Structure 1
Amino acid sequence: MTQKTRLAILVSHPIQHFVHLYRALALRPEIILTVIFCSRIGVDRYFDKEMNTNIEWKTDLLSGYDHLFLPEARTITLVSELTINNPSATRVLRDLQPNAVMLYGYNHVTALRAFLWCKMHGVNVLMTGDGDAVSTRSPLKAIIRNLVLRRLLSWVSAFLTVGDQNECMLASLGVARHRMFRTPFPIDEASYLASRNKRAETSRGLRAELAIPESRFVFLFVGKLCARKRPLDLVDAWDALRQAGGPADRVHLLFCGEGEQRAALTARIAETGANSTLAGFVNVDQLPRFFCAADVLVHPAERDPHPLVCSEAVAIGLPLLLSDKVGLIGPTDIGRQGENALVYPSGCVPDLADAMGLLALSPEVCKSMGEASLRVYGESDLQAAVGGVMNAIRIHAGGQSPASLER
């Protein structure tokens, strides 16, 4: 009988998107999975500073896979480099005796504790994260970071990469391509595919609730209303479209989210008269309805490594309109320029307005881009994520050579 691989996944807290991967991995007969949570953030109600609201996820975060909370979990109420600090992590790893440990980067104390424990005990590290080659740093910081990370990342057995930019960043730090295994970040696939199957009906229902006319072309923004996400650019682009004599009267802006720029956004909408709906924070159980009611997802952020709202949008079949600072643009990534995505320079409102006008007046273009999004999601679904993890395990915890593996 083939010996099973004991896989431990260490993560800061239960994250609504990632639990779907844990459930899928738990069904694999080749592995014994234990997920280790450093805190109870997400399970317990918490205040999201950037969202500026209290959040309690309306979804099951804990069933379907074996998990445990580290003893310090109840005392940790904030995710940051220093606050996620669980001295008990190494004891728990010693008790579990895993063959491999999956880490979400190296950006908190507990992850570094686990990393060093694995190095000392010869345990394989599988690392995932959404770092990208788009984000910029000062030259001095970049030099120091590169020197440190090259050494640190040389200890990692395999990298579970999420996209093209992620892989470019790792390659720039000396990681060989044969150590990379494409493992797309998961979403609540079952909910989104079920919503996609009744998209037209769901769209009509939600538009009626929100008083959005069926004739309007809806650009959807999903995220925190904060400076780095640049929600105000969308209103300014609508106004530029209006002033240029474009189809602004046909365009409707739908915002899902809360944050520090809510007041400024409300004021700008009133000033311009933009056709807009501020839906506020929308919990995960209702969010698929909003994607169904939209025609295009816009992500104007000035910095966002690999936003899962784009994966959710392509699962529904929406075209993407992206700032060039969104780190999931690439030929095999979620946002594929010229296929399912239009890309414009971050902060360039005239270019954003031009793209909005083009899409609002081009139903055939939108139809083609939407169909491309469905193809893209088919290559980036939960099965692909599970396949990435399993291939990494087979090679680095099972002794198989890369040539013997299928995609």
Structure 2
Amino acid sequence: MASSKRLAIVVTHPIQHFVPFYRALAARDDLDVHLIFGAPVGVQAYFDEEMNAEISWNMEMLGGYSHEFLEDARPGQQPSPSWPSSSKVAERLAAFRPDAVLLYGYNQANVRRALWWCGRNRVPAMIISDSELLQQRGGLKQAVKSLLVRLVYSRISAFLSVGDRNEEYYRHFGAPADRIFRSPFTIDEDTYRAARADRAALRAQVRAEFGIPEDEMLALFVGKLSARKRPQDLIDALARFHAGHGIGALFAGNGELFEELKARAAAENLPARFAGFVNVDRLPALYAAADVLVHPSQADPHPLITSEGACMGLPMIYSDRIGAVGPTDIARDGENVIVYPCGDTAALAEALAILAADPAQRAAMAQRSLEIFDELDMRRSVAGVMEALDAVCA
């Protein structure tokens, strides 16, 4: 058997959605993977300002893969372009002796240090990101960014793409098409598949907890209740229906708009429930209780809730500012998602009404979500990494 390839991954901190991905890579006999984290943010409890909640993930974050931390976490500080920043990056990469280095984005101090080390030592650098062109603006700032991104990309040997919009971004800034490899962002799919198998019981449990009638079509919103995510649009859509229309919503998340939205729903007697911050171990049950996933955000490159919803077999309603929509992506317009113009709450209400009136369409979209997720699950993510490694190590 051929010798194992050695892959170093440089990232700011452990991120709950990606931990199963690291374990899947580490489980391969033909790959020796090592994570170099800037700091242990997320391993201990921390306060998320946009979520307006203290976060402590109820899952094992560090087991099952080789890793190290370059510095300690600073109380209350969140990763930024300038932090973590450790002079040990080069030393630790040299100690591991990788055949290639995988970088998360390019706009972070330790990533830039790693990219410099790769160039100096002629080690192929690979990149993964969820960047897309939906939010791009013109002007001098964009022109400068274009020059910088093209310079960075000229030093990258392989590009891991999470979806169609992401691939467009890579190509726009000069990435060669034959150096782009699909490797979707991952979720804890074992947990979600288990929840799907127990969906009926979880659905009944959650609906009883929040007083949701069994025959109500429940729209689920998952995310921070902030202006950027536009949760108020779902409230506005609900307000367009008369009482007893059979459409309701459940909001899973906290943030600056939490109290305002909750007060409005109560004042107008709208069928909206608010779960607050929901930890990762609890979240699959809420998907099980839902009939459709709604994401009205005005800026979201490739939200991981899309994969979670698809894994649970949910139809989706998304604004046209969501970067996860594409013909070969996890959300496919006309197949498992209805796309509407961001901010157009009448169009959002119409989409809800269409699905509420047509259970057969909901069922068909749900089945497509399951099928599409199976195309883009952990196997595809790991295969993309291995394809990229074969290309850069040839």
Which residue of structure 2 lines up, in the alignment, with residue 404 of structure 1?
none
Matches within 5 A, 1:117-266: 117-242=117-242, 249-266=245-262
Pairwise CA distance, 1:248: 5.8
Query: 1:138 aligns to what SS in structure 2?
Result: coil
Query: 1:24 aligns to what SS in structure 2?
Result: helix
Instruction: Identify the match of residue 276 of structure 2 among 271, 275, 280.
Output: 280
Q: How many residues align?
A: 394
Say which is worse superposed, 71-80 or 18-27, in terms of deviation. Answer: 71-80
Paired with 1:64 and 1:74, the residues of 2 have a C-alpha distance of 25
**Contact 1:340–1:372, Cα closer than 8 Å, also in 2:** yes
Paired with 2:244 and 2:279, the residues of 1 have a C-alpha distance of 29
Query: 2:127 aligns to what SS in structure 1?
Result: strand
Query: 1:123 aligns to what SS in structure 2?
Result: coil
**Contact 2:40–2:72, Cα closer than 8 Å, also in 1:** no
Structure 2 unmatched runs, 5+: none
Structure 1 unmatched runs, 5+: 400-407
**Contact 1:306–1:327, Cα closer than 8 Å, also in 2:** yes
Query: 1:254 aligns to what SS in structure 2?
Result: strand
Paired with 1:268 and 1:227, the residues of 2 have a C-alpha distance of 16
Instruction: Identify the match of residue 326 of structure 1 among 322, 326, 335.
Output: 322
Q: One-letter code of the match for 2:333?
A: Q
Which residue of structure 1 lines up, in the alignment, with residue 114 of structure 2?
114
Instruction: Tell me the TM-score normalised to structure 2 length.
Output: 0.98
Which residue of structure 2 lines up, in the alignment, with residue 311 of structure 1?
307
**Contact 1:72–1:86, Cα closer than 8 Å, also in 2:** no
**Contact 2:24–2:382, Cα closer than 8 Å, also in 1:** yes
**Contact 2:47–2:76, Cα closer than 8 Å, also in 1:** no
Which residue of structure 2 lines up, in the alignment, with residue 84 of structure 1?
84
Which residue of structure 2 lines up, in the alignment, with residue 51 of structure 1?
51
Paired with 1:76 and 1:348, the residues of 2 have a C-alpha distance of 37
Matched, 1:389 2:385: yes
Q: One-letter code of the match for 2:173?
A: L
Q: One-letter code of the match for 1:304?
A: D
Task: Say what the alpha-carbon RMSD is for the aligned residues.
Answer: 1.3
> How many percent of aligned residue pairs carry the same amino acid?
44
Residue by residue, what CA displacement relative to the aligned partner does 1:323-369 show, whole Å, maximum 9, x if unpaired? 00000110000110000000000011111111111111110110000
Paired with 1:388 and 1:35, the residues of 2 have a C-alpha distance of 18
Q: One-letter code of the match for 1:285?
A: D
Instruction: Identify the match of residue 335 of structure 1 among 331, 336, 346.
Output: 331
Q: Structure 2 vs 1, CA of residues 11 and 248 (structure 1 numbering), >3 Å: closer, same or farther?
A: farther
Which residue of structure 2 lines up, in the alignment, with residue 32 of structure 1?
32
Residue by residue, what CA displacement relative to the aligned partner does 1:219-274 show, whole Å, maximum 9, x if unpaired? 000000000000000000111233xxxx8631111000000111221122123221
Q: One-letter code of the match for 2:275?
A: A
